[in-house]
Structure 1
Amino acid sequence: MSSTQPVEYAVAVERYLAASHLSTGSLRVYRIALATWAWALADRSAPVGPDRRRARPPVLPLALLDHPDAAGRFRGAVARRAADADPRTLNRELSILRAAVTWWRTQGWIDTDPTTDLRPLPLPASGSGPLTPEDLRTLFAIRAPLREQTLWHLLHESHAPIETVLALDADDLDLIHRRTRPSAGADLRWQAGTARLLPLHLVGRTAGPLFLTDRRAPANTPAPDRCPHTGRARLSYRRAAELSTACTRHPDWTLRRLRTGTDSVRPAT
């Protein structure tokens, strides 16, 4: 048993993360997930969307995990979140909570496991082929942010892998000729839908990542992944997938299923 047993849940979270030897990106994911479960312990609904990352979770005693109501509060939180969360995301967050609870128990900080009865959500049958024309019409009619609409159109019309598209910079684009410049590293071409959206999406940006996060980049972000105009970071695949699922509410409409037709991505010469 640890001789420095933490009183607060948040302190126990940081102790667990410090002992986990996770990467910087994984630490962020784990911290957000464990902070979200604090709302369940307080018997309150967690904020959703971007607010979930910015909200300060309630300050709670770690001993609440041993309270007889803890398991029921977690079950209620899972039921509420299952209504609008991607099952894969929720299952990952359940796994993170279980791992933290197991570690806290091995430290002797708590005695019970309130996650014992929590079961992973069944995953929807996920298609592997391209979206149907009807699916695409529905997708492009969604009132989604300009960034997401631009990304969807570019993926569909260029047939490019998502990693290639997210690696593009603003100065890689030849907007007039609807293609990437020879210096881009890959030859991508697009059609009228993307051509209409790209100038609106860029709004005068001439350098830096084509697709950006909503927040300013952390101080240690490499210069190529930071926008010199806005200070925001390059959008990651994980975050792009989360944003797309939040807009579409179709977890099986993955970004990779937008890459239809014959592959037209060639090394630039």
Structure 2
Amino acid sequence: MAPLPPVEYAVAVEHYLAASGLGEGSRRIYRIALHTWAWALADRPAPTGPGRRRARPPVLPLALLDHPGAAARLRAAVEHRSGGTDPRTLNRELSTLRAALAWWRGQGWITADPADGLRPRALPAPDTGPAPLTPEEVRTLFALRAPLREQVLWRLLHESGAPVETVLALDVDDLDLVHRRTHPSAPLLTWRAATARLLPLLLAGRTAGPLFLTTRRAPAATPAPDRCPHTHRARLSYRRAAELFTARTAGLTTTSWTLRQLRVPARAKHPGPAR
């Protein structure tokens, strides 16, 4: 006898995530996205800022997705969030909702698709920003004496070409060390020999939690996904990583370097000093 469908939206979210095969870090991101849409379905504004992760979503019946007004509420939420949300983030969260809706329909728990007709937001023209560091500048950077954490972060940013935020959001269990890449459940990153040599030293037996950690014990209010279960230290923030990079590279040049300048576009990658 088939199990009864869940009554609550939040319970259906957990069923979907459990069946998704995603890693812990990816499930956390998907959960936040799906909970955000719960506020829209309840016709209430979603929390923003740091409190978004910890906010309890409204309790909703899953059957609300079959209500004729659900599609209009989602459309209104997309329009409202378009004014203050990065379009890449909004498009990713729309994709997450569509995947969950398709899975729930496949289970026979709902019949409608309230996301039908929602279109991805247009992306802004790319911001070129400061030019990437030259090969000579990269060699100068990697010749600096720096803590292991910074060495791994800088090399991973340079070799993967990934955004800083994506790299700092990585968890230990996202990494496929043997194949020098992330697992399919995480954003796709690859790296070369220099990063591959240093990563095992940085992990030092850790099997879970954030890849890049602060040097101090995490405050009590730190969410569990952002705290290492082995060392109880917190995930390194972009602000702190940028401060450390600026401090370490001060005096190397007349202009300040930024972490984003380590990211080399795929079409312009070069072997440089990463061998």
Q: Same fold (TM over 0.5)?
A: yes
Q: What fraction of aligned residue pairs are identical, expressed as a percent?
A: 57
Question: Which residue does 1:256 correspond to in 2?
Answer: 260
Question: Which residue does 2:40 correspond to in 1?
Answer: 40
Q: 1:48 to 1:7 in 2, by over 3 A?
A: same
Q: 1:221 to 1:213 in 2, by over 3 A?
A: closer
- Distance, in Å, in 2 between the alignment partners of 1:19 and 1:25 is 15
Contact 2:216 2:234 (8 Å CA) reproduced: no
1:4 Cα deviation from its structure 2 partner: 1.6
Question: Which residue does 1:209 correspond to in 2?
Answer: 214
Contact 1:75 1:118 (8 Å CA) reproduced: yes
Please list the CA deviations of residues 100-157 of structure 1 after superposition, one character each: whole Å capped at 9, or x if unmatched: 00000011100110000110000001134526xxxxxxxxxxxxxxxxxxxxxxx9xx
Please list the CA deviations of residues 176-233 of structure 1 after superposition, one character each: whole Å capped at 9, or x if unmatched: xxx6448778599xxxxxxxxxxxxxxxxxxx6369988266598265xx57xxx322
Secondary structure, aligned partner of 2:53: helix
Contact 1:9 1:62 (8 Å CA) reproduced: yes
Secondary structure, aligned partner of 1:54: coil
Amino acid at match of 2:40: A
Question: Which residue does 1:107 correspond to in 2?
Answer: 107
User: Please, which moves more after superposition, 1-10 or 102-111?
Assistant: 1-10
1:93 Cα deviation from its structure 2 partner: 0.2
Please list the CA deviations of residues 222-249 of structure 1 after superposition, one character each: whole Å capped at 9, or x if unmatched: 65xx57xxx3223479xx89xxxxxxxx
Amino acid at match of 2:102: T
Amino acid at match of 1:7: V
Amino acid at match of 1:112: A
Which of 211, 214, 221 in structure 1 is aligned with 2:228?
A: 221
Contact 2:25 2:225 (8 Å CA) reproduced: no
Contact 1:38 1:58 (8 Å CA) reproduced: yes
- Distance, in Å, in 2 between the alignment partners of 1:183 and 1:94 is 38
Question: Which residue does 1:172 correspond to in 2?
Answer: none
Contact 1:9 1:61 (8 Å CA) reproduced: yes
Question: Which residue does 2:89 correspond to in 1?
Answer: 89
Q: 1:5 to 1:130 in 2, by over 3 A?
A: same
Amino acid at match of 1:91: N
Runs of 5+ consecutive residues of structure 1 not aligned to the other structure: 132-154, 166-178, 189-207, 242-253
Q: 1:91 to 1:219 in 2, by over 3 A?
A: closer
Secondary structure, aligned partner of 1:38: helix
Which of 227, 233, 236 in structure 2 is aligned with 1:234?
A: 236
Secondary structure, aligned partner of 1:209: strand
Q: 1:211 to 1:126 in 2, by over 3 A?
A: farther
- Distance, in Å, in 2 between the alignment partners of 1:6 and 1:61 is 9
Secondary structure, aligned partner of 1:113: coil
Does residue 65 of structure 2 align to residue 65 of structure 1? Answer: yes
Question: Which residue does 2:49 correspond to in 1?
Answer: 49
Contact 2:6 2:12 (8 Å CA) reproduced: yes
Question: Which residue does 1:135 correspond to in 2?
Answer: none
Q: 1:73 to 1:160 in 2, by over 3 A?
A: farther
1:160 Cα deviation from its structure 2 partner: 6.5
Does residue 16 of structure 2 align to residue 21 of structure 1? Answer: no
Question: Which residue does 2:30 correspond to in 1?
Answer: 30
- Distance, in Å, in 2 between the alignment partners of 1:217 and 1:56 is 15
- Distance, in Å, in 1 between the alignment partners of 2:35 and 2:118 is 18
1:256 Cα deviation from its structure 2 partner: 2.0
Please list the CA deviations of residues 12-56 of structure 1 after superposition, one character each: whole Å capped at 9, or x if unmatched: 000001100101110000000000000001000000011111110
- Distance, in Å, in 2 between the alignment partners of 1:209 and 1:160 is 24
| TM-score after normalising by structure 2 | 0.56
- Distance, in Å, in 1 between the alignment partners of 2:86 and 2:51 is 17
- Distance, in Å, in 2 between the alignment partners of 1:105 and 1:69 is 18
